[in-house]
Structure 1
Amino acid sequence: MSVTDRTIVLAGATSDSGLALARALVEAGARVVATGRSADRLESLRAVGAEVEVADATSLASMTDLAARLGAVDAVIPLVGGWRGGGGLAGQSDADFAALLPALDAVRATSRAFDSALRASEAGRFVIVSSTAVGRPLAGGANYAAVKAASEAWTRAVAQGFAKAARDAAEPLRAASVVFRAKALDPASLVPRVLALWDADATDLNDQIITLD
């Protein structure tokens, strides 16, 4: 298997990482559908060969509509993120927590909207980018680590759902849900890991937590 000819959705892809990932996937022969809420910010993704959709990755309704229009999809990677923190535990404000929650909302919305499409693919992949902060949370980043931990828990639940659906249907497992952890996200470490998602069988890949270099 390879990434060539796969349809891959990058949800909330207007970051530097989203652009680097879209470029690499297109160059590898994939069909990339990149979403964002700003048509202007999506233009750089269109320029590297991605199809672009003005859509809200944190909205189940928006992602469900997109899933219905796209049909067959082989991978979904929500890229909504950001960091706010500092000030110790006392500095973990409700405003900062609320600003971080869209990352979890995107994981929930995209996984639910594309669940059936990923299970129907011969090699479906659902991937999130988390943080090593989950393994060693600090007081000054408690809000951030909590949201990332919740996102990981949800993604692992997606993995269990993929496995259960395959068992119930008496079919081989074809879909995998994966967590990438990074201390500081570097597109140079993310891109090759995404390109390699189809080098491993879903049975070996599902429910894995992989630390990026």
Structure 2
Amino acid sequence: MTSPLADRTVVVAGAGGVGGRAVCAALTAAGAHVVAVGSRAESLVGVDAAEAAVVDLADPSAVAAWARELRSRRPSIDGALHLVGGWRGGSGFDDFAWLERRVLSTLRVLSRELRTDLAASGAGRLAIVSSASVAAPTWGMANYVTLKAAAEMWVQAIAGTWRAKHEPAAAVTFIVGALDDAGVTELLATACAGLWSLPTEELNGALIDLSRATESASESATEPATDQGE
């Protein structure tokens, strides 16, 4: 039986982190043409992907140029998995700016650029990773949970438009505890690879909670998903 991911082009942003590496390996094993994207070449060394690209995902011009080149070589862009992140606690202005660029700007720029491609794919998938801490915010992580919540709403806006236009594409948010837990990382990788095996209508707009799927994930549910690549 042919894999639903066979030769589909899937962009993994933040591919150099622990979660990104696991996701790239799972997608490659399922037959996808994985494009591993990161901000530093050294972070992408050894990632299991068909190709790798160093791109500043917060720079619209850089992302547009990279996407044009990718479109010239691939018949479609079928997935964009945003695993870019970082962690700083508190409510300080500098920390907010640092997090905003990584957590939200990279998502906004990448998804704006690829949204039409995903809708045209016939089985487009957009996915992000958010944190269980959004549901239990504290002042000690005010910046982080605010930006994660904003990222979730951005994805819901895309999902709502795809739903209203009956586009064959789905935008999904995975909720995790801490990605340095091997069980959670494995679950995330499996879940990402499984996105193309589930009906679009079932997936679009879904919040898929992986934070309680293992005992260790449940115990760390208030910790941020810190081990994401840039």
Distance 1:162 1:129 in 2: 20
The answer to whether the 8 A contact 1:57-1:78 is kept is no
The answer to whether the 8 A contact 1:12-1:56 is kept is no
The answer to whether the 8 A contact 1:33-1:50 is kept is yes
Partner of 2:159: 159
Distance 2:97 2:125 in 1: 28
Distance 2:5 2:62 in 1: 26
Name the aligned partner's letter for residue 99 of structure 1: W
Distance 1:75 1:160 in 2: 18
Name the aligned partner's letter for residue 78 of structure 1: H
Distance 1:16 1:135 in 2: 24
Matched, 1:120 2:120: yes
Report Cα offsets for 1:44-76 as digits up to 9, x if no partner: 22xx24301111122222222222222210000
Taking the TM superposition and a 5 Å limit, the aligned residue runs for 1:55-70 are 55-70=55-70
The answer to whether the 8 A contact 1:35-1:56 is kept is no
The answer to whether the 8 A contact 1:130-1:148 is kept is yes
Partner of 1:32: 34
The answer to whether the 8 A contact 2:23-2:189 is kept is yes
What is the aligned-residue RMSD (CA, Å)?
A: 1.4
Partner of 1:129: 129
Distance 1:50 1:56 in 2: 20
Matched, 1:78 2:82: yes
Distance 1:149 1:8 in 2: 25
| Structure 2: segments with no counterpart, 5+ residues | 214-230
User: What secondary structure sits across from 1:177 in the alignment?
Assistant: strand
The answer to whether the 8 A contact 2:127-2:172 is kept is yes
Distance 1:141 1:83 in 2: 9
Larger RCO (CA under 8 A, 6+ residues apart): 2
Matched, 1:180 2:174: yes
User: What secondary structure sits across from 1:34 in the alignment?
Assistant: strand
Report Cα offsets for 1:119-162 as digits up to 9, x if no partner: 00010000000011111111211111000000000000011121
Distance 1:33 1:68 in 2: 14
Name the aligned partner's letter for residue 104 of structure 2: L
Alpha-carbon shift at residue 3 of structure 1 (Å): 1.9
Distance 1:187 1:61 in 2: 32
Alpha-carbon shift at residue 202 of structure 1 (Å): 0.7
Distance 1:83 1:69 in 2: 32
| Structure 1: segments with no counterpart, 5+ residues | 86-90, 167-172
Partner of 1:9: 11
Percent of aligned pairs sharing the same letter: 40
List 4+ stretches of structure 1 deviating above 4 A. Answer: none
Partner of 2:104: 104
Distance 1:187 1:40 in 2: 21
Distance 2:19 2:130 in 1: 13
Name the aligned partner's letter for residue 155 of structure 1: V
Name the aligned partner's letter for residue 81 of structure 2: I
